Structure 1
Amino acid sequence: MPAARRDAFIDLDAYDRLCETAEEGERLEYIDGRVFRMMVGGSTAHHALTRRLDGLVAERLAPGGPCASFRETMRLEAGTARFYPDVFVSCRGDIAPDPDTRSVASATVIIEVLSPSTEAYDRGRKWLAYQALPDLRHFVLVAQDQRRIEAYHREGAGWRYELLQAPDAVLRLDAVAVHLRLDAIYAVVPMLATASDDRPFSVPFGPAQVAGIAGLKGLDVSGAIEKLLTEMDAEECAAAVAALVGLADLPPEESWRAVLPQRLHRGLDEALRGML
């Protein structure tokens, strides 16, 4: 998790002043009045993948079209939040090269290369904030320690989750007419360039993280439901998070039924009755 600065719960003007005095290589992100300190770069694999993804996307965007790609030094405005995605595509159509331009207020595609210190942040609070972007159509998480890409594609009022690991897998960003083979993406990481990797993957989520994200989604995590969450294993927690971030506007009981595994539905019914 990125470190939150002590200047907690500040307004956007104060955040902008902090950015003006930020150290070289430091990125300050802003969510719900709090500032999070990020660092540009990271591991050599992270740097190589970020540069590679930006290059592949940029060269496939329609020449002269409305879309442009940006890397981690360009700020993205998502409502009142401010972020520095590793790679993103904006199709606003009126972004001209300008040395004074420091931020963009629209994104159609966002790509984050995962790091151990920021993975939970990227998957949780940050992804929830990204969903407020009306133009966003694809959100992509790229692993740097194995050939694994996860993508969320907007479909109607919700999101479809996709896991890509196969040697011939293709990441399809249809909203910008860009298709990327995993082989092409991972060619810059020698140890992952040719090996297929179908190992089960782990994500840093447990019952507490599921409860926290459910709370951010506006769901009531009562004592009875919280107890049900503690009965979930790591794989079920990962599935629950994927379900939570893709939830459309459903009644709470339907939302919990979509999030909790089938084996806990009887306990859910009892918990919901107790909440009435």
Structure 2
Amino acid sequence: MVANPEFQYMSPQEYLEWEKTQELRYEYIDGKVFVRMGKTIIHNCICLNFYIELNDFLIEKGCEIYSCDVKLKVTSKSYHYPDVVVTCDDRDKQAIDMIRYPCLIVEVLSPSTEAFDRGKKFTRYRQSTTLQEYVLIESDEIAVECFRKNDEGLWVLHTYGEGDTLNLESVGISIAVEKLYRRVQFDLGERN
């Protein structure tokens, strides 16, 4: 993510009004605005695979799933665009501009965002009282990490690799990890 040098500080309300007029999507953290960088084909493919695996299942449960272009308000000073976000909360049913009560957030990692997704972004996501699981998916190898909030309120890491099944307790589904990487080819080198 790259900070927008045009602004030194922007209030949350200024950000919300300003972003409505922008062609690109921007995340907002403590008064600073960050442009969402373009995604690779592999990144997009993994997001879509995850979305496809969950969509029909979640509709029957009364949950909503969103991908990439739906804003998530975490705090009054933090707005993000997760790669995939799920809400089963009735308070989000009539949402128009953003959701506020996620139970599951998924980020597909890239070299330029991995440190942020693991660090400051996860720190902010953990402030959500409804979030139960945070999933990080590698885009250069078959590897998935699921941070799950336990009964004591602690975040416990569960790792998954090739041949494993990702268990998402927040929505009650299990997905073969390979399905998340369907049509993904690693080490293709430079291609246009």
TM-score (normalised: structure 1): 0.63
Letter in structure 2 aligned against 1:38: R
- The 5 Å alignment of 1:125-144 reads 125-144=120-139
1:21 to partner: Cα distance: 2.2
User: Number of aligned pairs?
Assistant: 184
Which residue is equivalent to 2:2? 3
CA distance in 2, matches of 1:190, 1:159: 32
Hey, which of these two has a bigger chunk of strand by percent? 2
CA distance in 2, matches of 1:57, 1:103: 20
- Consecutive unaligned residues of structure 2, counting only runs of 5 or more, are 188-192
Which residue is equivalent to 2:34? 36
CA distance in 1, matches of 2:182, 2:104: 22
Q: 1:57 and 2:81 equivalent?
A: no
Hey, which of these two has a bigger chunk of helix by percent? 1
Secondary structure, counterpart of 2:55 in structure 1: helix
- The 5 Å alignment of 1:195-214 reads none
1:120 to partner: Cα distance: 1.0
Q: Tell me, yes or no, if the aligned pair for 1:138 and 1:153 is still in contact at 8 Å.
A: yes
Which residue is equivalent to 1:123? 118
Q: Tell me, yes or no, if the aligned pair for 2:92 and 2:101 is still in contact at 8 Å.
A: no
CA distance in 1, matches of 2:92, 2:11: 26
- The 5 Å alignment of 1:236-251 reads none
Secondary structure, counterpart of 1:117 in structure 2: coil
Q: 1:93 and 2:90 equivalent?
A: yes
Superposed CA deviations along residues 158-208 of structure 1, whole A, max 9, x for unmatched, are 11012211x32111111211211111111121449xxxxxxxxxxxxxxxx
Which residue is equivalent to 2:17? 17
- Consecutive unaligned residues of structure 1, counting only runs of 5 or more, are 193-276
Letter in structure 2 aligned against 1:50: C
- The 5 Å alignment of 1:138-157 reads 138-155=133-150, 156-157=152-153
Match of 1:27 among 6, 25, 28: 25
Structure 1 residue runs of 4+, over 4 Å off? 94-98
Cα RMSD over matched residues?
1.7
CA distance in 2, matches of 1:190, 1:139: 25
| Bigger Rg, which one | 1
Instruction: Specify which structure has the bigger relative contact order, considering alpha-carbon pairs within 8 angstroms and separated by 6 or more residues.
Output: 2
TM-score (normalised: structure 2): 0.89
Distance 1:62 1:13, change over 3 A: closer
